Amino acid sequence: MDLVPALEEPLRQPLKSVLGPATAKVMAEHLGLLTVGDLLHHYPRRYEERGQLTHLADLPMDEHVTVVAQVADARLHTFASAKAPRGKGQRLEVTITDGSGRLQLVFFGAGVHKPHKELLPGTRAMFAGKVSVFNRRLQLAHPAYELLRGDPEESVETWAGALIPIYPATAKLESWKIGKAIQTVLPTAQEAVDPLPDTLREGRGLVPLPEALLKIHRPHTKADIEDARSRLKWDEAFVLQVALARRRHADAQLPAVPRKPAPEGLLTAFDARLPFTLTDGQQRVSREIFDDLATDHPMHRLLQGEVGSGKTMVALRAMLAVVDAGGQAAMLAPTEVLAQQHHRSVVEMMGELAEGGMLGGAEQATKVVLLTGSMGAAARRHALLDLTTGEAGIVIGTHALIEDKVQFHDLGLVVVDEQHRFGVEQRDALRGKGKQPPHLLVMTATPIPRTVAMTVFGDLETSVLDQLPAGRSPIASHVVPAADKPHFLSRAWERVREEVENGHQAYVVCPRIGDEEDDPKKSGKKKSPEDEAEKRPPLAVLDVADQLTKGPLQGLRVEALHGRMHPDDKDAVMRRFAAGETHVLVATTVIEVGVNVPNATAMVIMDADRFGVSQLHQLRGRVGRGSAPGLCLLVTEMPEASPARQRLGAVASTLDGFELSRIDLEQRREGDVLGQAQSGARTSLKVLAVIEDEEIIAEAREEATAVVANDPELTRLPALRTALDALLDEEREQYLEKG
């Protein structure tokens, strides 16, 4: 059955192009639009009423803008220049207005003839160009323009009130050219096959897809735009949720070995030696995990918890339960530093229970091995042997665990720490090492708002740890405005000294390492003094460590740590800091994840405005991990009214990671949050806003789950199937797989 042939037609083909070949080429290269369907789904960014210009006060500098306005006057000047020494140079200056402000347009040389004839006072047109400043006035130099000729019958009011779609455009293709191309293919919208089941569409009062496409591209009223957007948001949410529901459904069909902990086994022995009781949250989440582990299809669970909420403890108990049931558990960490740290802390927590097969090991004990890329050959051989024989119940490692050589005796559980750093290929490669698919537990310390969890990690069930264990101390956070109040920065270093004098330690975090080669291409450009101040390079670890040692922290033991150091050197620096031999650790964000030194109570983050909100929250979680209160100082040179300062103010005002992740998302837009490597996010979410449309996403998830439960292969819904195939092209498949 050949569905939507008209919409699948390429915009550019050898024999006949739907559009001119040059236009089709620019659309493919600059906007990624290849077919008629792609073009119909390239929605307007906003709408102009002909009678109003984007307010001139709001025009952004150096950006490509489209404005609708009327010519107030046009003057042709002649001047002498090197190219036209006899005063034959020509410059056309046109002033346009929207009634509330004015904007100057300039044309030079041979480019003046056509506009001189066409842009007469009283003419209305759309103008597009890059906003610049000349003689302190905003101007557009050589803008492209399109005359707006109202129908002579049309009244001025109707004409001025008409809605003109403004499309996401590029300098090579103006908005109205895209608009014209869309008008050419708009009749084919009638053939668009509707992915929403009729019952769902009618039940929610949504307009059919062909009507929504017509209304979004050629609206008569603002109500048309609303109707179209509501409908198209549902499309995006529903098709995405069907894709995720099908993944959940397929995963539920896979067989897995149920893993129930032995009654008096390793887990019971471990719980008995814990010096504290688990929080209610830890007990609740552990029960959810144990219930999943006991079923005969693989667990897929996302465990979210604030930094320090005790996720590692929950994961360790799950691993022990699987070992009790005769299986093995693997924990995958994103870096060697973190893998070594997890290994150390797991062995410490387990004590003699981690000494299986050794003298002094407890009766129920197992072996806990570490496997990383930089291990020596002998240690590596030993670890691999322990895994193959089943001697080692728990292995902790980096992606070295995924290599072909690594064989397990019976892999029952995979725990992935900081999921967003792993690709799906890695996760699946590790899964493939079990006789049957192992259970999967994914952990993240980056709080994810509920809607993002439903969208990005939609194929995983979610558990949240939202209380901190007893003994955790509150963290006080303050913004230090170094430029406005330099004495605040001096006081910050005094505070660090005070913490050290009281027997504690401190971190200083910088955005950059400082041994990068200067890029000759970049340094060739001349910058204005304002640029220099605004765009000075971010502070670097090596420079700051040096300045602190010679200056405000003289006499204290200061060391530097960054990602380009040799793994052994990194480990040695971390060991000295953990042992209390180093007072102050100056580091990049390598310490962001999982570094646990309870004696570190203070953190100073330099150039804090260069980090994201969630990242600052992650970093701050490294202090206050013991019984003494934590202190986090956010140093910035940004002016008080700037958005960067407001962001830092938000971080300082709350310790609630979920609240901060919401702020982060609202400020950065979905595209960034949905993914470093989740490239499909940008392309698949055009009208759906993850935060604002929480309700639609939640309802779409319910509807999608019901549809897939009734008809997993979507045989009765061929149009939905087609929409799904379009969503799941290569890059978007990866985006969904990231969950």
> Which pTM was predicted?
0.65
> What CA–CA distance (Å, rounded) separates 291 from 293?
6
H or E element at residue 542: helix 541-550
CA–CA–CA angle 196, 200, 202 (5° rounding): 105
Q: What radius of gyration, in Å, describes the C-alpha atoms of the chain?
A: 31
CB neighbours of 124 closer than 8 A, spacing ≥ 6?
A: 50, 68, 69, 70, 71, 147, 148, 150
Taking only the tens place, the pLDDT of each residue in 617-635 is 888 888 877 778 899 999 9
Tokens of 151: 């129908």
Whether 408 contacts 433, CB under 8 Å: yes
Q: What are phi and psi of 5, to 5 degrees?
A: -60, -35
pLDDT number for residue 7: 65
Asked if 132 and 62 count as a contact pair (C-beta separation under 8 A), the reply is yes
- The pLDDT assigned to 556 comes to 93
442: amino acid identity, one letter = V
Beta pairing, strands 124-134 & 137-141: antiparallel
Q: Which residues of 197-228 are buried (b: 16+ CB within 10 A; e: fewer)?
A: beebbeeeebbebbbbbbbbbbbeeeebbebb
The per-residue pLDDT for range 166-219, each reduced to its tens digit, is: 887 777 777 878 888 888 888 888 888 888 999 999 999 999 999 999 999 989
Q: Which residues contact 637 (CB under 8 A, 6 or more apart)?
A: 481, 482, 483, 607, 609
Strand partners, 105: 94, 140
Report the alpha-carbon distance of residue 266 to residue 320 in Å, rounded: 6
Residues of the chain with pLDDT under 50: 1-4, 14-16, 53, 155-156, 517-534, 669-683, 730-739
Q: What is the pLDDT of residue 87?
A: 60
Identify the CA nearest to 196 among candidates 232, 221, 145: 232
CA atoms within 13 A on the CB side of 252: 13
Helix (H) or strand (E) holding 244: helix 222-253
Distance of CA 667 to the CA centre of its chain: 12
Q: For the sheet with 584-587, list strands across it.
A: 475-481, 630-636, 600-605, 505-509, 584-587, 558-561
Amino acid making up residue 252: A
Q: Is the distance from CB of 584 to CB of 558 less than 8 angstroms?
A: yes
Beta-bridge partner residues of 503? none
Q: Which of 324, 470, 331 is nearest to 397 (CA)?
A: 331
Give the residue from 342, 428, 355, 362 showing the smallest Cα distance to 393: 355
